[in-house]
A and B are shown apart, each in its own frame.
Chain A
C-alpha cells in the first residue's frame, strides 16, 4: 500500500521533470537531481511492494474519516474567509479574523464526537479575541481583522486600534457570557480517567 503510493509519486515526479534537460555531470541540468531522486524513490517503493507480497503485513487499523475531513474543512473555511478569495468566478466574502476565527473553531471542533456547541462557541470567541490582541494589536501583523462593512459601523472618530480593542472586548465578553449563562450540565471529564 505505502509502496504503491511511493511508486505513484515517483512516476508523477518523472512525468513532471520529463521536459527538463538532464545535462551532464560536468554541468548538471535542472532535471538531473530530481530525476535521480524520483528513480530512487520508485525503487524504494518497489522494494516495499515486494516485501509486502513476500510477508503479509499487519492489516490497517480501522479509522474514521470524520476527523480528517472535518479538520480539512475547517482549514479550508479559514483560508477562504480570511480575505476575499477568487475561485473560478466565485469570490468568497472576506470576513477577516472576526468571522474566520470562530468559524474555524466551530467547524473544527466537530472533528470529535464529544463536541458541544456552547463550549465551542465560547472557545471560538475567546481565542479570536486573544488572537486579535496578540497578532493585530501587539504585533501589528497584516491580518485582515474584520470586513469593511463592520468597520463602517463604528463612529468615524475611532482609530483602527480602538475598533480592534472594542471588538476583542466584545468577543471576550461573549465568550464569558456563554460560559457563565446557560444551563449547567454536570461536567464529565472523560479525558481524566482514573488511575489504572
Chain B
C-alpha cells in the first residue's frame, strides 16, 4: 500500500513537473508541459471522438511524427489522452446525433439519443461524463495496483507463455468480432501473414518482398493502420450519404437530478467493474464492455421495457464500461509489453521511436514514465470533465460541418502525417493501396480490426514461437507441459468452443444486433 502511494506520488510529480519552455517573444516561461500535453491530447481526442468517421487509430498514426518533438513521457501522455478522450467524445455524438462517434459508443445511441429526444440531452451527457469520470478514477487506481504484481508475473513468462497468451488474445479477437467467425479467423491469419513480410528474424532472408527494397523492413504499422482505418473509412463513408439527425431540442440542464443519480449510481459501478475486467484482456476486450454492461443492466432492471426509450441506466452503465476498458487496456502493454489493440500497438511505435522497449522492464527502468502516464490518466479525466461540459455547444456546431468538407481534410492530414514519419512517397502510395484493400474487405463483410491485431501480434508471436521451440528442442509439447502456457491455451480453446456452440452464437449475434 505504501508502495502504491509512493509510486502514485512519483507519477503525479512527473505529470505536474514544471519545465521552462522557450516561447517566441517571451523567452523561457515555466510551464507544466505534461499537463499541457495531456490537455491537448484530451481536446484532440474529444474532437475526433465527436466527429464520426475519424477514429483514434488514424489520428494517432497521423500524430506520431509530432511526438518526435517531445520527451517520451509527454508524448505518451498526449497519445493516451487522445485515446480515452475519443471514447469520451464518441458518446456526445451518440447522444446528440444518434451516430456512434466511436465503435464503443454504439450502445449509447439506444437510450442516450432517446433521452435527447425527450429534451434530456443535457442530463444524458452529464451522466455519461460523471460515469466516465468515476470509471476513469477506479481504472487508474486499478492500473496502479495491478501494475507491479503483473510485472512480476511477466518475469516468469518465457517464450512459450508469451506465445500462448497471444494465441489467447487472438482467439478473443475472433470471438469478439462481429459476423462470421470463419471470416474473423481468416482476417487474423492474413494479418499475421502480412507481419511476416520482410527480412527473416534469424537468417535475414527476404520474405515475400517482391525484391522491393522498402519492403525488406516489413510493412510499417502506421502505414497499414492509416490505410485500413483512415482511408478505407473515408471510402466507406462516401458510399452512403449519412443523414445526421442532430437533436433540435434544447440540450437542457447538464447536472442530473437526485433521482437520476440514485438510478445510475449502481449501474456506473457495475459498468466500471465489467469494463475494467474486460479491458485487461488481450484481444480488444474493451469493445465488449459497453455491450456486456447494457445487457446486464437490462436483465437487472425491474422494468426492462424502459430500455430503448430513454433509460438513464442504459447510458450510465455502458459509458462507464467503455471508459474503464479504454484505460485498463493499457495494462497488458505496460506490464507484459503486449499491445491488446491497434491503438496500443501505435503506442508501442511511439515508445520505440524514443528507444523504449515496451515490457516489464519499463516499470523499473522508466519509472517516471510508467507512473507519470498512469497519473496523467486521472488528470486527463478531470480535464475531460471540466473542458467538455462547457464545450458541448461547440461540439454540436462542429457536427454540422458537412462530410464533403471533412473528408478532404482528413485525406490531406493523412498524407502529410504519413510522409513526415519516414519521408517516403511510397508510404503514401501504400496507404492508398491498403485503403483500397480495406474498403474491399469491408464491402465483403470482413472486419479490418482483427487483421490489424493479427499484424500487431504477428511478429512477436513468430519470434516467441521459434524461441520456445529452440529451447524445447523442437518439442511442440512445451506449450502444454508448462502449466501457465497450458492454462492460457485451455482458456483459448474453451472460448472458441463456446463461441461456436449454436445457442451461444445466437445470443452473441443478438448482443451485436441490439
Residue B200 lies at the interface, judged by CB distance under 8 Å to chain A? yes
Closest to B208 in A: A16
Q: Is A101 at the interface (CB under 8 A from chain B)?
A: yes
Contact of B182 among A51, A80, A193 (CB under 8 A): A51
Q: Are B192 and A135 closer than 8 Å at their CB atoms?
A: no
Contact status B193-A190, CB under 8 Å: no
- For B427, the closest partner residue in chain A by CB is A79
Q: Which of B178-226 contact A (CB under 8 A)?
A: 180, 182-183, 185-186, 189-190, 192-193, 196, 200, 202-203, 205, 207-208, 210
Q: Is the CB of B428 within 8 A of A82?
A: yes
B258 at the interface (CB under 8 A from A): no
- B425, A72: Cβ atoms closer than 8 Å: no
Instruction: Knowing A79-B415, A112-B238, A131-B412, say if A26 contacts B443 (CB, 8 Å).
Output: no
Beyond A71-B435, A105-B409, whether A79 also contacts B186 by CB under 8 A is: no
B65 close to A141 (CB less than 8 A) = yes
Contacts of B68 in A (CB 8 A): 139, 141
Which of A24, A33, A131 is the most central at the interface, judged by chain B CB atoms within 10 Å of its CB? A33
B439 in contact with A68 (CB, 8 Å): yes
Does A191 lie within 8 Å of B469, measured CB to CB?
Answer: no
B72: min CB distance to chain A, Å: 16
Q: Is B419 an interface residue (CB 8 A)?
A: yes
Closest to A28 in B: B466
Say if the beta carbon of B426 comes within 8 Å of chain A: yes
Set of chain A residues within 8 Å of B408, measured between Cβ atoms: 74, 104-105, 108-109, 120, 123-124, 127
A139 adjacent to B183 (CB under 8 Å): no
- Interface with B: A34-42, A150-158, A166-174, which one? A34-42
Q: Tell which of A2, A24, A61, A131 touches B474, judged by Cβ atoms closer than 8 Å.
A: A24
Q: Decide if B419 touches A2 in the complex (CB within 8 Å).
A: no
Which of A13, A60, A79, A194 is in CB contact (< 8 Å) with B426?
A79
A45 touches B186 (CB 8 A): yes
B299 at the interface (CB under 8 A from A): no
Question: In chain A between 140 and 196, which residues have their CB closer than 8 angstroms to a CB of chain B?
Answer: 140-143, 189-196
List CB contacts (< 8 Å) of A76-114 with chain B. Answer: 76, 78-80, 82-83, 85, 97, 100-101, 104-105, 108-109, 111-112, 114
Interface 9-residue window, one of B240-248, B331-339, B506-514: B240-248
Is A142 touching B415 in the complex (CB atoms < 8 A)? no
B239 lies within 8 A of chain A by Cβ: yes
B69 sits at the interface (CB 8 A): yes
The CB with the most chain A CB atoms within 10 A, among B185, B419, B431, is that of: B419
- Whether the Cβ atoms of A2 and B446 lie closer than 8 Å is yes
- Prevailing SS type, chain B contact patch: helix
Whether B425 and A85, one on each chain, are in contact in the complex, defined by CB atoms closer than 8 angstroms, is yes
Is B309 an interface position by the 8 A CB rule?
A: no
* A44→B193 contact, CB < 8 A: no
List of B residues within 8 angstroms of A27 by Cβ: 470, 474
Q: List chain A positions with a Cβ less than 8 A from chain B.
A: 1-2, 5-6, 9, 13, 16-17, 20, 24-31, 33-34, 37-38, 40-41, 44-45, 47-48, 51, 60-61, 63-64, 67-68, 71-72, 74-76, 78-80, 82-83, 85, 97, 100-101, 104-105, 108-109, 111-112, 114-115, 119-120, 123-124, 127-128, 131, 135, 139-143, 189-196
For this complex, 26 residue pairs linking A to B, each with C-beta atoms less than 8 Å apart, are A2-B445, A13-B208, A24-B474, A26-B474, A30-B202, A30-B203, A34-B196, A44-B186, A68-B436, A75-B231, A78-B428, A79-B425, A79-B429, A85-B425, A97-B416, A104-B408, A104-B411, A109-B408, A115-B404, A135-B420, A143-B419, A191-B241, A191-B400, A191-B404, A192-B244, A196-B243
Q: Which residues of B contact A (CB under 8 A)?
A: 65-66, 68-69, 117, 180, 182-183, 185-186, 189-190, 192-193, 196, 200, 202-203, 205, 207-208, 210, 231, 234-235, 238-239, 241-248, 400, 402-405, 407-409, 411-413, 415-416, 419-420, 423, 425-426, 428-429, 431-432, 435-436, 439-441, 443-446, 462, 465-466, 469-470, 473-476
- Which 6 pairs show the lowest CB-CB distances between chains A and B? A26-B474, A30-B200, A67-B238, A79-B428, A75-B432, A44-B186
